[in-house]
C-alpha cells in the first residue's frame, strides 16, 4: 500500500482547497440544506394518525431518503471536483438525477437507512396517538440504536458516490465492491477524521450553529481528500 496521510494532513489539504472558495461552496451547501429540509419535513405537515397515516408516512419518508441520497451524491461530486481543482457549481448538486447508477445506489442506501430508522418513526406516531411517554422514550432509544447500526453498515459504502464519479463506465455492483475494497482496514481512520470535528461542532453550538457554515464545508472537503488519498495509496500498493 502507498502512503496514507495522517488525518491532520488530510484536513490541512482540505483547508488549502477551500481557501478562496468558501463563498461558492457555502452557497451550494445552503442549497443542499434547503432542499433536504424541505424534502424531509413536508410529510410531517400532513394531519392524521392510525395505520393509514403510518403507511403514508413510511412511503413519503422512504421517498425523501432517496431524494436526499441523490443530493448527497451531488454534494460529494462538488467537493471531489473542488479537491481536484476542477470547475464546480450548483448544477453539480442535481447531477445524480441523470445517472441511473446514482439512483440505484441512492435506492440501496435509502433502503438500509429506512430499515433502521423508520421503526422509531412508527413508535413516535404511536406515542403521539396514545399520549404514552414510555413509547416516546422507547422511540428515542430505538432511533439512536438504529442510527448506530446504520452507521456501522454504511461505513463500507462510504466511498460509493466518489467511486461512481471515478469509474463512470462501471456498474453499481462493481462500484460497491471498489468502495468495500477501499474501506477494508480503513474504517476506523474515517471514524477518526469524523470524530476530530467534534470540538469544532461543539464550538459552533456556542454560536447558535452559525459556526457550522464554515465547519460543514471543512468536514466535507476533508472526506473528499480522504477518498483521494485512499484511492492513490491503495492503487499504488
Grid coordinates given for 211: 459556526
Grid coordinates given for 45: 405537515
Helix (H) or strand (E) holding 162: helix 160-166
Half-sphere exposure of 204 toward its Cβ, with a 13 Å CA cutoff?
Answer: 14
What's the average model confidence in pLDDT over 97-120? 94
C-alpha distances (whole Å) from 125 to each of 45, 53, 55, 116, 139 are: 13, 9, 11, 16, 9
Share of the chain above pLDDT 70, in %: 93
Residue 53 has pLDDT above 90, yes or no: no
The pTM for the full model equals 0.91
Residue 48 has pLDDT above 60, yes or no: no
- What is the per-residue pLDDT for 160? 98
Model confidence band, residue 1 (pLDDT cutoffs 50, 70, 90): low
What's the average model confidence in pLDDT over 15-32? 93
- What is the per-residue pLDDT for 38? 81
- What is the per-residue pLDDT for 136? 82
- What is the per-residue pLDDT for 23? 92
Instruction: Let me know: does 60 contact 43? Beta carbons within 8 Å.
Output: yes
Residue 45 sits at φ, ψ, to 5 deg, of -85, -5
Residue 159 CA to residue 50 CA, distance in Å, equals 39
What's the average model confidence in pLDDT over 153-180? 97
Grid coordinates given for 56: 403514508
Average pLDDT, the chain: 90
Q: What is the dihedral of CA 65, 70, 71, 74, to 10 degrees?
A: 160
Amino acid at each position: 500500500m502507498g502512503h496514507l496521510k495522517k488525518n491532520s494532513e488530510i484536513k490541512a489539504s482540505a483547508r488549502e482547497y477551500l481557501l478562496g472558495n468558501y463563498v461558492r461552496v457555502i452557497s451550494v451547501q445552503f442549497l443542499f440544506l434547503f432542499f433536504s429540509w424541505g424534502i424531509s419535513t413536508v410529510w410531517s405537515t400532513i394531519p392524521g394518525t392510525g395505520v393509514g397515516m403510518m403507511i403514508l408516512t413510511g412511503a413519503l419518508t422512504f421517498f425523501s431518503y432517496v431524494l436526499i441520497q441523490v443530493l448527497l451524491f451531488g454534494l460529494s461530486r462538488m467537493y471531489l471536483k473542488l479537491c481536484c481543482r476542477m470547475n464546480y457549481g450548483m448544477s453539480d448538486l442535481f447531477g445524480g438525477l441523470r445517472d441511473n447508477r446514482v439512483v440505484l445506489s441512492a435506492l440501496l442506501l435509502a433502503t438500509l437507512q429506512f430499515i433502521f430508522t423508520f421503526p422509531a418513526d412508527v413508535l413516535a406516531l404511536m406515542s403521539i396517538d396514545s399520549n404514552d411517554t414510555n413509547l416516546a422514550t422507547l422511540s428515542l432509544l430505538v432511533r439512536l440504536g438504529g442510527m448506530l447500526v446504520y452507521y456501522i453498515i454504511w461505513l463500507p459504502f462510504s466511498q460509493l458516490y466518489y467511486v461512481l464519479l471515478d469509474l463512470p463506465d462501471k456498474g453499481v455492483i462493481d462500484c460497491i465492491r471498489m468502495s468495500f475494497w477501499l474501506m477494508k482496514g480503513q474504517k476506523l481512520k474515517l471514524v477518526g477524521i469524523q470524530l476530530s470535528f467534534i470540538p469544532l461542532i461543539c464550538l459552533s453550538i456556542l454560536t447558535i450553529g452559525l459556526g457550522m457554515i464554515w465547519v460543514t464545508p471543512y468536514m466535507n472537503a476533508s472526506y473528499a481528500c480522504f477518498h483521494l488519498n485512499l484511492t492513490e495509496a491503495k492503487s499504488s500498493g
